[in-house]
Amino acid sequence: MDKFLIHGPTRLEGSVANSTAKNAVLPILAACLLAEEPCVIHEVPLLEDVNTMARLLRSMGVKVTLRRRTMEIVAGGDIEHTADYDIVRKMRASYYVLGPLLARFGDARVSLPGGCAIGPRPVDLHLKGIAALGAEVKLEHGYIHATGRPLRGGTMLLEGASGPSVGATANTMMAASLAGGETVIEAAACEPEVIDLAGFLIAMGAKIEGQGTPVIKIKGVKRLHGAEYRPIPDRIEAGTLAVAAAITRGNLEITNCEPEHLTAVIDRLRQAGATVETGKRRLIVSAGKRPEPVTIATAPYPGFPTDLQAQFTALLAIGRGASVVTENVFEARFMHVLELNRMGAKIDINGRTAVIQGVEQLSGAQVMASDLRASAALVLAGLAARGDTEVQRIYHLDRGYESLELKLGGVGAKIERVSY
Ligand code: EPZ
């Protein structure tokens, strides 16, 4: 296992390049199952989750090759229709193969994912989506077994207790692309990653309208062909780097990012007193003093992203007063708070709300990462804290941030990866 050793406080300054979006690439790789011909995906981020998706596709007989950052996926020939427990339990996004396998082969067996560090994560809306397309769905020995061919278009409302679902919208959109007739997804997720998946499916020959709005319409086609695509930049990594600038009172230019995808994030950074300039595919973030208190409530896009809640909690932990952060998307996503408190933060959790009394400075400590974004929050806290911070279990971080220590080290952080 690896850990990070961070010596703080440091002030970050310079230019740092953001990577391609993990959460756009994962469903796009699964969508390659919809065609027999080769698909080529450019600028793939070199991440553990991307490796896991490649491993899953290979385990089904798909040919996956990576040269530099270009991945070629060929799902011709004999394809297994099963996603095994061993892979799905490591990465929930394995679920994205359900829709494509079902639509192309009329048969998909995908293990149920089991527990998750950020709270209960049901898959009922994924199943509701494919059932509305005429699939028969059974639970057998821990696996969802979905059958039915041809699928037929249907109208469905994919809304759960916390609003729309990114994953269920994506899965249903992929399956509906090869169903007979028209599908209407109501209460669809509007995230940029859903729009990007639609863009890739359209490049494969799908007929989709309304992506980015709550009503997506798909006219099924008989077959999809191979396509070449470059997915969008990672808005969550860009937001994390922006917080790195603000928490260290530094000045960072973040390149290869899409400021339009970060409206709510930029708004909260400015409320916290940071200066944010936006340009074509870049952001410049600087801060000169402790953050002002801010109220944040996470929400589906275009609201404030749950995937940046932990990082902003770390920032507001050194704010000049009391901030309130409410987590509305995943009910138990506060594991980072106990670790931040071990670094001297004063944060109380009450149900879905964290009340943060800002302290002047955090102090370095040994802390343990519990999930991807919680890990990022602890690294950010370590950059601002006085003394040495050791972030253990950074395999969580490697799932979604490519070489974060090199990117931060390149702009002045004293951070080192150590194997233990
Ligand atoms: C995606 O997860 C992202 N993962 C998550 O990023 C992100 O936090 C989340 O969307 C919300 O933005 C990927 O894109 C791979 P949801 P997903 O279905 O699709 C409930 C990260 O750190 N729900 O939109 O699984 C669910 O419990 C990760 O990069 C149901 O009730 O999220 C949650 O409360 C973590 N039934 C809400 O909907 C379902 O069938 C939104 O979840 C599905 C979801």
For 172-229, the pLDDT digits (tens) are 999 999 999 999 999 999 999 999 999 999 999 999 999 999 999 999 999 999 999 9
* pLDDT at residue 331 is higher than 90: no
Instruction: Give the largest CA-CA distance in the chain.
Output: 62
What is the pLDDT averaged over residues 118-125? 81
pLDDT attached to residue 383: 98
Where do runs of H (alpha helix) occur along 188-234? 192-203
Percentage of the chain with pLDDT > 90? 94
* pLDDT at residue 369 is higher than 90: no
CA of 329 to the centre of ligand 1 (A): 8
Q: What is the CA radius of gyration of the chain?
A: 21
116 is an active site residue: yes
Length of the chain: 420
Which residue out of 32, 116, 190, 257 is catalytically annotated? 116
Joined tokens for residue 60: 């089904």
Distance CA 14, CA 134 (A): 54
* pLDDT at residue 157 is higher than 70: yes
What is the pLDDT averaged over residues 268-286? 98
Q: What share of the chain is helix, strand, coil (3-state, %, to 5)?
A: 35, 30, 35
Assess contact for 328 and 305: CB atoms under 8 A: no
Where do runs of H (alpha helix) occur along 89-225? 98-105, 124-131, 166-177, 192-203
pLDDT attached to residue 116: 66
**Nearest alpha carbon to residue 243 among 294, 297, 292, 314:** 314
Q: Read off φ and ψ for residue 290, nearest 5 degrees.
A: -60, 145
pLDDT attached to residue 389: 98
Element (H, E) at 372: helix 372-384
pTM above the 0.95 mark? yes
* pLDDT at residue 13 is higher than 70: yes
Distance CA 183, CA 216 (A): 8
Residues framing ligand 1 (Cβ under 6 A): 23, 26, 92-93, 121-126, 160, 162, 165-168, 189, 193, 306-307, 329-330, 372-373, 400
What is the pLDDT averaged over residues 116-131? 85
Distance CA 94, CA 405 (A): 27
Distance CA 224, CA 227 (A): 9
Assess contact for 188 and 169: CB atoms under 8 A: yes
* pLDDT at residue 118 is higher than 80: no
The alpha carbon of 17 is separated from its chain's Cα centroid by a whole number of angstroms, namely 18
* pLDDT at residue 119 is higher than 80: no
DSSP label of 307: G
pLDDT band at 240 (very low <50, low <70, confident <90, very high): very high
Element (H, E) at 326: strand 322-326
pLDDT attached to residue 78: 87
What's the N-to-C CA distance of the chain in angstroms? Answer: 6
**Nearest alpha carbon to residue 108 among 132, 127, 125:** 127
pLDDT attached to residue 91: 93
Where do runs of H (alpha helix) occur along 219-333? 235-247, 263-271, 309-316
Ligand 1, atom 31, lies closest to the CA of 160
The beta strands (E) that lie in 210-320 are given as: 215-219, 228-229, 251-255, 275-279, 282-286, 295-297
CA of 343 to the centre of ligand 1 (A): 29
Ligand 1, atom 1, lies closest to the CA of 166
pLDDT attached to residue 114: 67
CA of 389 to the centre of ligand 1 (A): 30
Of 53, 121, 311, the one to substitute when testing ligand 1's pocket (max ligand atoms within 8 A of C-beta) is: 121
Joined tokens for residue 409: 């080290």
DSSP label of 21: -
Percentage of the chain with pLDDT > 70? 99
Q: Choose the weakest-confidence range: 44-48, 112-116, 335-339.
A: 112-116
Atom in ligand 1 nearest the alpha carbon of residue 121 = 27
Residues 191-202: tens digit of each pLDDT: 999 999 999 999
Residue of 383 and 89 predicted with greater confidence: 383
* pLDDT at residue 115 is higher than 70: no
**Nearest alpha carbon to residue 334 among 382, 393, 367, 374:** 374
Give me the chain's average pLDDT, please.
96
* pLDDT at residue 149 is higher than 90: no
- For residue 277, how many other CB atoms are within 10 A of its CB? 12
